[in-house]
Structure 1
Amino acid sequence: MVLTHGHSDHTGSINKVRQMHSVPVYAHPVELPYLEGELPYPRRKKAAETVSSGLTEPLPSNNASELSSIGGLKPYFTPGHSPGHVVFYHEVDQVLLAGDLFTSKKGRLKKPVPMFTANMEEAVQSAEIVSRLRPKRLEVCHGNSVFNPGEQMEAYRKNNS
């Protein structure tokens, strides 16, 4: 199981899934102290544990700067919505699982929900991963699928700068 980040709306079913399947849970190392309740998420008053301490493992990496593929998904560090947010790219199908890096409406890319985003400027900068990877399809957790999202990046930059 891989997490884009540790906000409670993304971690709420972990225990039920693990009751049915004995699988490891992975998140970016930067995210671990936030989701385990050691640190409060930016813009939050207090720390809150969304995943039991010690349950989540850091995403594997080849070295200090490159995350390793896991289960056919290549993770990319995309901070902003949360300190350790990542997206996962399925290279074979050219699908980017974007978590909360974006929202979408009617197939159009929108910025993440401001109220829950730690650093909007950083999130908008992290969105450049779409220009780099040029996925055919992008999936967000709050909205619908976006097809050929790279074609929207110029307008996204303009609307969010």
Structure 2
Amino acid sequence: MDDQQVHYGDDYKPIPATSISDGISLEIAPHVHYHTIQIVNICFVKLDTPGDFVLIDAGMPDSAEHIITATEEKFGEGAKPSAIILTHGHFDHVGGIIELIKRWNVPVYAHEKELPYLTGKKHYPKPDGTVEGGLIAKMSPMFPNDPIDLGGHVQALPIDGTIPHMTGWRWIHTPGHSPGHVSFFRDSDQTLIAGDAFVTVRQDSLYKVLAQEIEINGPPRYLTTDWKEAWKSVKTLAELNPSVAVTGHGGPVSGEELSTGLDILVNEFDRLAIPDHGKYVNDKEHYKKDH
């Protein structure tokens, strides 16, 4: 790897926020494990070949060694995934990725609309510290926002909805939180890896993030810039009738808790998810027109 061609943004830095779930690792469905790093989840999906797996997302800044340790605890010393698949490119989902691809030299896949933010070409809109919410929302302007550059190590997911190496899974475009946000679904048992299309904790509230209280809610408010698309994306995922879901933030949910929670979120998204104010928020009547 050419270190001059691959780098984090100039504002890259560790974020000192850790929940009680840090380090927890659980199997939520056959061959699907999630692992919490500080306040964000990554996933390991085992493949058909023994010892083969992919990594979904790459954690918080400065988390590469944590991810490598978790990987080797699951799959053995020296284990590496066949690929890293990204739900999107926000700082807390790509925080360890450069060290990981340097260590493992594996390809990275993301939606084509996310590639400008992963190849140094475009900044995400700045986090909104004015948005309605708790202390983490107020802290959000301090979070890394400069684009990282993965050069030729990142490529677009296939346009036919398949996911490299992940037979039986498909990706679903779920924009709103970011332009190229995707979620992953396995039809055989209705397992959903939702990323930040919706989450199971009030991510703007410091107390709830640290305590990890389960609460199905919309995407993190301070980084969501298109609320109309975010609402449509939640509706798309609810219509899949997932049996179990792991999200980017918060614990896994399943069964009636998941189905009921998603139904409520779809029907009351304007009240539960869309903030009352913020620089990316229109009048709430604007969002109701299509729902």
What TM-score do you get using the length of structure 1 for normalisation? 0.85
Which of 68, 72, 89 does residue 162 from structure 2 map onto?
Answer: 68
1:108–1:146 contact (8 Å) kept in structure 2 = no
Give the match for residue 127 of structure 1.
234
RMSD: 2.2
Give the match for residue 192 of structure 2.
96
The answer to which of 51-60 and 81-90 deviates more is 51-60
Give the match for residue 84 of structure 1.
180
The answer to which of 77-86 and 53-62 deviates more is 53-62
Query: Which amino acid is 1:53 matched to?
Result: G
**1:6–1:17 distance in 2 versus 1, CA, 3 Å:** same
1:35–1:48 contact (8 Å) kept in structure 2 = no
Query: Is 1:151 aligned with 2:249?
Result: no
Could you say what secondary structure the match of 2:150 adopts? coil
What TM-score do you get using the length of structure 2 for normalisation? 0.49
Give the match for residue 114 of structure 1.
221
Partner Cα distance (1:145, 1:10) in 2 = 17
Query: Which amino acid is 1:114 matched to?
Result: R
Partner Cα distance (1:20, 1:94) in 2 = 33
Query: Which amino acid is 2:156 matched to?
Result: P
2:98–2:150 contact (8 Å) kept in structure 1 = no
Partner Cα distance (1:57, 1:92) in 2 = 27
Give the match for residue 40 of structure 1.
123
Partner Cα distance (1:16, 1:95) in 2 = 29
Partner Cα distance (2:194, 2:149) in 1 = 20
The answer to which of 29-38 and 145-154 deviates more is 145-154
Could you say what secondary structure the match of 1:79 adopts? coil
The answer to which of 74-83 and 52-61 deviates more is 52-61
**1:81–1:20 distance in 2 versus 1, CA, 3 Å:** same
Percent identity of the aligned residues? Answer: 34
Larger radius of gyration, structure 1 or 2? Answer: 2
Partner Cα distance (2:98, 2:116) in 1 = 19
Give the match for residue 6 of structure 1.
89
Q: Deviations over 1:31-66 (max 9, x none)?
A: 101222312213469x7222423321000123xxxx
Partner Cα distance (1:18, 1:52) in 2 = 9
The runs of at least 4 consecutive aligned structure 1 residues that moved more than 6 Å come to none
Could you say what secondary structure the match of 1:127 adopts? helix
Query: Which amino acid is 1:150 matched to?
Result: S
Partner Cα distance (2:93, 2:104) in 1 = 18
Gaps of 5+ in 1: none
